[in-house]
């Protein structure tokens, strides 16, 4: 049995029952224990019993038990443990679009430097694309000790198959112990495919990364259940240990133009570069100039704006602040804003430095998309709106007066 | 046109919270639902069937109770439903899950298109869809917001990106993961509801599918959860009050402080 309760250690304290996301644990009279344990525990027979029809072996209960009474064991088999010796170095996949390395790569480099220091190893960036000369140097200035570069016309724009083939080939050739990638529309598609191709462990959408100094292992922490709980995940027996990281979680690595690094040009034959699917066109359509996921500031509007034309108040404020415009599901469903602006469970997950929620009540579906923002300001006419529970600053007031006044003030400040 | 839609039964995320006093999951009466993104996948499958004929098969892996999610999909109009349920699958991370689902899809064999939701609302990983495509070695397009055309064994779709969208063409069979914008899911019809009650759900265990046992469940999963905890609480919230002018001044100060 891969999971079991050690009757002798279990005190029936209910801690495990409370953390089980699947309602699979009950405290009841334990199944007939051995004679010995009956002797020990006479008089207090209530124990944790796991319903194996409901248990998914998710592992939430074992670390929650203060008495180490829950054992979760992996059945080990001979070919179970691949050889992980010889994997060294921290890699960053440097995502580029239209020949420009994306800010997420610099954010990853700043964390990669910390991780590499803790592991006493070096940081490498992998850059795939076409005509990237200047970009390579910037990766070194921002912290890469090595940059692996493959420049091919077929790699000019991201495509799943050639990128997967080439990156997997590089991983097999150089064996990094850690690989970081942005949790972007590119990263989440690419690395999921890589994970299968090279049979490695992957933790998605991390918001914190650290090294377990004793085991020299990557600790990846990520939100689950829409950000309502956090989970720390390890990958003990497979390499590289891979993680995708959300935008704006780490600061960008600073540019040090004196830094030196090594550039390694790769060349692979054509078969790896072929793609069955074809990218026919790329269309940019975000009306406001700022991309929602990469924005430092987001001004979002909801049902409280009452009508489509009132969204202009939000857009004006966003413009004055240099912010991106977000919208609640209610606003998108009413046709006031396109879906690409929707923040929340069925839209985008964002974590800007500042999130200003205007006329958004704060349905949980919205909160899960923005509650990891660093600072939240909420403006709503209803003092009992749930948005105030997650806000650092709350204002109960009239949007139609406050927003124009605020925009005007900012515009004046800018003029000065 | 035969379509397989992979779905997941999830706890209604909105109700799973951590009790800040005890640091434990509060789960009283949490309902199980079809992952919201999978509703768009099911709907898109049904629409394609209505246009091109063929059938829609729903596939899920989960505990026996996941059968109710399959019945719900049938009430919407799906033709067949298969439940992969086996103790051997328990503890699967995204690698083992996509391996198992891919094994079942190979057994189904006759398919032109696979559709998944962009991610599940409990794990939020978005890894299983591309994982299945990788195991089957077929092309994938993620974050699909529109199917433009299907003809001559090829599909042309719009893929949502951070800046807008891409137009991608792929030969079939292929795997798509879809976002909310692609459609508005229908409600079950009365006929569908009646049919879902009687429909026979196919159950498969690892013995029914050609799979390597060591790649299943816990032993096939490279990742391990070592700790769960509640997110750090937000600094105590502060309500601002005053006249419009005062509020504007206060906010301007906050912007200054927070954006340096």
Give ipTM to 2 decimals. 0.90
Q: In terms of pLDDT, which residue wins out, A322 or A57?
A: A322
**CA A68 vs CA A16, A44, B191, B198: distances in Å:** 11, 18, 52, 46
Sequence-ordered list of residues with C-beta below 8 angstroms from that of B166, at least 6 positions apart, any chain? A279, A280, A281, A282, A283, B158, B159
Backbone φ and ψ for B86, nearest 5 degrees, come out as: -170, 140
Q: What is the pLDDT of residue A187?
A: 96
Write the pLDDT tens digit of every residue in A139-187: 999 999 999 999 999 999 999 999 999 999 999 999 999 999 999 999 9
Q: What is the mean pLDDT of chain A?
A: 88
Q: What is the pLDDT of residue A74?
A: 65
Q: Please tell me which of the candidates B22, B93, B162 has its beta carbon nearest to residue A184.
A: B162
What is the distance between the alpha carbons of residues A72 and A2, in angstroms, rounded to a whole number? 6
pLDDT for A286 beyond 70? no
Q: What is the pLDDT of residue B24?
A: 52
Q: Which among B191, B140, B64 has a CA at the least distance from the CA of A196?
A: B140
Chain B residues touching residue A321 (CB < 8 angstroms): 255
pLDDT for A14 beyond 90? no
As a whole number, mean pLDDT of residues A28-53 equals 62
What is the separation of C-alpha B238 from the centre of its chain, rounded to a whole number of angstroms?
37
Q: Which among B101, B97, B100, B46 has a CA at the least distance from the CA of B72?
A: B46
As a whole number, mean pLDDT of residues A272-291 equals 84
DSSP A319: H
Chain A residues touching residue B120 (CB < 8 angstroms): none
Backbone φ and ψ for B162, nearest 5 degrees, come out as: -65, -35
Q: Which among B215, B157, B108 has a CA at the least distance from the CA of A278?
A: B157
Q: What is the pLDDT of residue A47?
A: 86
Asked if residue B121 lies in contact with residue A345, where contact means CB atoms within 8 angstroms, the answer is: yes
Q: What is the pLDDT of residue A1?
A: 63
Angle at B183 between CA A280 and CA B120, to 5 degrees: 90
Q: What is the mean pLDDT of chain B?
A: 91
CA dihedral sign of residues A238, A240, A241, A242: negative
What is the distance between the alpha carbons of residues B4 and B12, in angstroms, rounded to a whole number? 24
pLDDT for A88 beyond 50? yes
User: Are B225 and A205 inside 8 Å of each other by CB?
Assistant: no
Q: Which among B231, B234, B240 has a CA at the least distance from the CA of A375?
A: B234
pLDDT for B19 beyond 60? no
Chain A residues touching residue B83 (CB < 8 angstroms): none
Residue B63 touches chain A, beta carbons under 8 Å: yes
What is the distance between the alpha carbons of residues A230 and B227, in angstroms, rounded to a whole number? 8
**Which range has the worst mean pLDDT, A202-216, A312-326, A365-379?**
A365-379
User: Are B231 and A364 inside 8 Å of each other by CB?
Assistant: no
* Nearest CA-CA distance, residue A259 and chain B, Å: 27
Q: Please tell me which of the candidates A2, A160, A203 has its beta carbon nearest to residue B140.
A: A160
> Structural domains in chain B?
3-223 (3.40.50.620)
What is the distance between the alpha carbons of residues A185 and B167, in angstroms, rounded to a whole number? 14
How many CB pairs (< 8 A) connect A and B? 326
Q: Please tell me which of the candidates B139, B165, B228 has its beta carbon nearest to residue A160.
A: B139
**pTM assigned to the model:** 0.85
Cis peptide before B257 (omega within 30 of 0): no
Cis peptide before A314 (omega within 30 of 0): no
**Which range has the worst mean pLDDT, A159-168, A188-197, A370-379?**
A370-379
What is the distance between the alpha carbons of residues B36 and A318, in angstroms, rounded to a whole number? 30
What is the distance between the alpha carbons of residues A337 and A311, in angstroms, rounded to a whole number? 8
Other beta carbons less than 10 A from residue A308's beta carbon:
12
**Which range has the worst mean pLDDT, A272-281, B96-105, B119-128?**
B119-128
Residue B212 touches chain A, beta carbons under 8 Å: no
> Structural domains in chain A?
3-76 (3.30.70.3270), 90-273 (3.40.50.620), 292-415 (3.40.50.1220)
User: Are B141 and A277 inside 8 Å of each other by CB?
Assistant: yes
User: Are A21 and B234 inside 8 Å of each other by CB?
Assistant: no
Chain A residues touching residue B124 (CB < 8 angstroms): 204-205, 223-224, 226, 349
User: Are B252 and A227 inside 8 Å of each other by CB?
Assistant: no
Asked if residue A349 lies in contact with residue A246, where contact means CB atoms within 8 angstroms, the answer is: yes
Q: What is the pLDDT of residue A290?
A: 64
Q: Please tell me which of the candidates B139, B214, B259 has its beta carbon nearest to residue A276.
A: B139
What is the distance between the alpha carbons of residues B191 and B29, in angstroms, rounded to a whole number? 29
Mutation target among A192, A221, A245, A345 for the B interface, most CBs of B within 10 A:
A192
Q: What is the pLDDT of residue B89?
A: 93
Q: DSSP assignment of A265-279, as one string?
A: E----GGGG--SSEE
pLDDT-derived band of residue A41, with 50, 70 and 90 as boundaries?
Answer: very low
First to last CA, chain B: 56
| A186, two tokens | 């590119």
Q: What is the pLDDT of residue B132?
A: 98
What is the distance between the alpha carbons of residues B88 and A12, in angstroms, rounded to a whole number? 28
Mutation target among B84, B114, B130 for the A interface, most CBs of A within 10 A:
B130
Q: What is the pLDDT of residue A242?
A: 98
User: Are B251 and A377 inside 8 Å of each other by CB?
Assistant: yes
Q: In terms of pLDDT, which residue wins out, A413 or A303?
A: A303
What is the distance between the alpha carbons of residues A345 and A326, in angstroms, rounded to a whole number? 13
Q: Which among B183, B250, B48 has a CA at the least distance from the CA of A397?
A: B250
Mutation target among B85, B120, B124 for the A interface, most CBs of A within 10 A:
B124
Residue with tokens 């912007």: B255
Residue B131 touches chain A, beta carbons under 8 Å: yes
Which of residues 148 through 187 in chain B touch A, CB cutoff 8 A?
A: 156, 159-171, 174, 179-181
What is the distance between the alpha carbons of residues A55 and B63, in angstroms, rounded to a whole number? 8
Asked if residue B33 lies in contact with residue B12, where contact means CB atoms within 8 angstroms, the answer is: yes
Minimal-distance CA residue of chain B relative to A206: B125
| A243, two tokens | 């993680």
Alpha helices in A1-128 (DSSP H): 15-19, 35-41, 61-64, 103-119
Asked if residue A237 lies in contact with residue B222, where contact means CB atoms within 8 angstroms, the answer is: yes
**For A24-43, b where at least 16 C-beta lie within 10 A, e where not — what string?**
bbeeeebeebeeebeeebee
Q: Which among A210, A279, A303, A310 has a CA at the least distance from the CA of A250?
A: A210
Q: What is the pLDDT of residue A318?
A: 93
As a whole number, mean pLDDT of residues A114-129 equals 97
Q: In terms of pLDDT, which residue wins out, A293 or B141?
A: B141
pLDDT for B155 beyond 70? yes
Asked if residue A300 lies in contact with residue A314, where contact means CB atoms within 8 angstroms, the answer is: yes
Q: DSSP assignment of A49-80, as one string?
A: EE-TTT----SSHHHH-TT--EEE-PPP-GGG
Helix, strand or coil, per DSSP, at residue A84: coil
pLDDT-derived band of residue A78, with 50, 70 and 90 as boundaries?
Answer: very low
pLDDT for A303 beyond 60? yes
Helix/strand/coil percentages in chain B, nearest 5: 35, 30, 35
User: Are B121 and A345 inside 8 Å of each other by CB?
Assistant: yes
Sequence-ordered list of residues with C-beta below 8 angstroms from that of A117, at least 6 positions apart, any chain? none
As a whole number, mean pLDDT of residues B203-229 equals 91
Mutation target among B251, B252, B253, B260 for the A interface, most CBs of A within 10 A:
B251
Minimal-distance CA residue of chain B relative to A340: B164
As a whole number, mean pLDDT of residues B48-74 equals 96
Chain B residues touching residue A394 (CB < 8 angstroms): 237-240
What is the separation of C-alpha A358 from the centre of its chain, rounded to a whole number of angstroms?
26
pLDDT-derived band of residue B167, with 50, 70 and 90 as boundaries?
Answer: very high
Q: What is the pLDDT of residue B142?
A: 98
* Nearest CA-CA distance, residue B198 and chain A, Å: 23
What is the distance between the alpha carbons of residues A55 and B193, in angstroms, rounded to a whole number? 29
Chain A residues touching residue B18 (CB < 8 angstroms): 228-229
Q: What is the pLDDT of residue A279?
A: 96
What is the distance between the alpha carbons of residues A202 and A240, in angstroms, rounded to a whole number? 9
Q: Please tell me which of the candidates A52, A196, A232 has its beta carbon nearest to residue B98.
A: A196
pLDDT-derived band of residue A372, with 50, 70 and 90 as boundaries?
Answer: confident
Q: What is the dihedral of CA A391, A392, A395, A399, to 10 degrees?
A: -60
pLDDT for B143 beyond 60? yes
Q: Which among A187, A180, A184 has a CA at the least distance from the CA of A218?
A: A180
As a whole number, mean pLDDT of residues A387-397 equals 92
As a whole number, mean pLDDT of residues A10-25 equals 83
Alpha helices in chain B (DSSP H): 36-52, 67-76, 94-108, 128-136, 190-198, 244-259
What is the distance between the alpha carbons of residues B165 and A163, in angstroms, rounded to a whole number? 19
* Nearest CA-CA distance, residue B183 and chain A, Å: 12
Percent of chain B with pLDDT strictly greater than 90 = 74
Q: Which among A359, A364, A370, A315 has a CA at the least distance from the CA of A337?
A: A315
As a whole number, mean pLDDT of residues A328-333 equals 91
Chain A residues touching residue B165 (CB < 8 angstroms): 283, 285
User: Are A395 and B241 inside 8 Å of each other by CB?
Assistant: yes
* Nearest CA-CA distance, residue B124 and chain A, Å: 7
Q: In terms of pLDDT, which residue wins out, A9 or A175?
A: A175
Checking DSSP bridges between strand A229-234 and strand A217-224, what pairing results, if any?
antiparallel
As a whole number, mean pLDDT of residues B65-84 equals 97
User: Are A75 and B13 inside 8 Å of each other by CB?
Assistant: no
Minimal-distance CA residue of chain B relative to A288: B163
pLDDT-derived band of residue B29, with 50, 70 and 90 as boundaries?
Answer: low
Q: What is the pLDDT of residue A76?
A: 56
Q: Please tell me which of the candidates B124, B130, B162 has its beta carbon nearest to residue A224.
A: B124
Q: What is the pLDDT of residue B256?
A: 86
Q: Please tell me which of the candidates A23, A234, A391 has its beta carbon nearest to residue B237.
A: A391
Q: What is the pLDDT of residue A75?
A: 60
Write the pLDDT tens digit of every residue in B99-117: 999 999 999 999 999 999 9
pLDDT-derived band of residue B15, with 50, 70 and 90 as boundaries?
Answer: low
Asked if residue B229 lies in contact with residue A229, where contact means CB atoms within 8 angstroms, the answer is: yes
pLDDT-derived band of residue B3, with 50, 70 and 90 as boundaries?
Answer: very high
Mutation target among A225, A297, A343 for the B interface, most CBs of B within 10 A:
A225
Q: What is the pLDDT of residue A389?
A: 85
Chain B residues touching residue A234 (CB < 8 angstroms): 223-224, 226
pLDDT for B18 beyond 60? no
């Amino acid at each position: 049995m891969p999971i079991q309760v050690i009757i002798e250690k279990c005190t029936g304290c209910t801690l495990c029952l409370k953390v089980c996301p699947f309602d699979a644990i009950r405290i009841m009279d334990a199944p007939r224990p051995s004679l010995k344990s009956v002797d020990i525990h006479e008089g207090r027979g209530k124990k944790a019993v796991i319903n194996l029809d409901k248990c998914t072996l998710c592992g939430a209960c074992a670390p929650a038990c203060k008495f180490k009474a829950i054992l979760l064991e992996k059945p080990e088999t001979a070919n179970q443990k691949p050889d992980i010796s010889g994997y060294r170095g921290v890699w960053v996949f440097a995502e580029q679009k239209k020949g420009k390395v994306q800010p997420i790569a610099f954010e990853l480099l700043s964390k990669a430097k910390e991780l590499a220091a803790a592991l006493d190893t070096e940081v490498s960036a992998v850059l795939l694309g076409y005509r990237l000369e200047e970009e390579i140097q910037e990766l070194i200035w921002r912290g890469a000790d090595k940059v692996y570069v493959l420049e091919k016309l077929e790699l000019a724009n991201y495509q799943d198959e050639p990128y997967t083939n080439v990156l997997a080939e590089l991983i097999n050739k150089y064996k990094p112990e850690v690989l970081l990638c942005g949790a972007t529309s590119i990263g989440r598609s690419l690395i999921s495919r890589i994970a299968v191709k090279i049979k490695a462990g992957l933790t998605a959408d991390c918001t914190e990364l650290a090294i377990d100094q004793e085991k020299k292992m990557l600790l990846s922490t990520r939100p689950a259940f829409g950000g309502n709980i956090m989970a720390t995940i390890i990958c003990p027996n497979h390499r590289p240990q891979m993680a995708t990281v959300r935008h704006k979680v780490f600061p960008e690595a600073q540019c040090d133009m004196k830094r030196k690094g090594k550039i390694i040009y790769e060349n692979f034959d054509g078969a790896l570069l072929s793609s069955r699917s074809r990218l026919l066109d790329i269309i940019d359509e975000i009306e406001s100039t700022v991309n929602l996921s990469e924005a430092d500031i987001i001004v979002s509007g909801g049902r409280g704006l009452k009508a489509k034309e009132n969204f202009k108040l939000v857009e004006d404020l966003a413009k004055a602040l240099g912010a991106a415009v977000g919208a609640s599901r209610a606003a998108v469903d009413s046709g006031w804003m396109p879906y690409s602006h929707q923040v929340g469970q069925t839209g985008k997950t964002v974590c800007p430095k500042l999130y200003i929620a205007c006329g958004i009540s704060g349905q949980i579906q919205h909160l899960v998309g923005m509650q990891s923002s660093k600072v939240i300001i909420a403006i709503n006419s209803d003092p009992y709106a749930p948005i105030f529970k997650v806000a650092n600053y709350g204002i109960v007031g009239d949007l139609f007066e406050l927003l124009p006044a605020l925009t005007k003030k900012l515009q004046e400040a800018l003029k000065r | 046109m035969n379509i397989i839609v992979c779905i997941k039964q999830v706890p209604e995320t909105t109700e799973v919270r951590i009790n800040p006093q005890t640091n434990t999951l509060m789960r009283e009466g949490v309902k199980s639902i079809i992952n919201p993104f999978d509703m768009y996948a099911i709907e898109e499958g049904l629409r394609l069937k209505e246009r091109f004929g063929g059938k829609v098969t729903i596939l899920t892996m989960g505990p026996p109770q996941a059968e109710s999610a399959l019945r719900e999909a049938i009430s919407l109009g799906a033709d067949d439903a298969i439940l992969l349920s086996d103790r051997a699958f328990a503890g699967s991370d995204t690698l083992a899950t996509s391996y198992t689902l891919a094994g079942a899809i190979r057994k189904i064999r006759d398919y032109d298109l696979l559709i998944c939701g962009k991610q599940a609302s409990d794990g939020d990983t978005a890894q299983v869809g591309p994982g299945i495509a990788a195991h089957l070695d077929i092309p994938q397009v993620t974050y699909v917001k529109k199917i433009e055309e299907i003809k001559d064994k090829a599909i042309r779709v719009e893929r949502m990106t951070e800046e807008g969208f891409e137009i991608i063409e792929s030969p079939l069979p292929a795997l798509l993961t879809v976002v909310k914008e692609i459609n508005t899911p229908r409600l079950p019809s009365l006929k569908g509801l009646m049919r879902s009650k009687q429909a026979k759900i196919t159950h498969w265990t690892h013995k029914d599918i050609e799979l390597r046992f060591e790649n299943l469940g816990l032993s096939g999963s490279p990742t391990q959860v070592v700790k769960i905890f509640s997110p750090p609480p937000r600094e105590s919230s502060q309500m601002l009050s005053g006249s419009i002018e005062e509020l504007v001044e206060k906010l301007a100060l906050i912007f200054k402080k927070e954006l340096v």
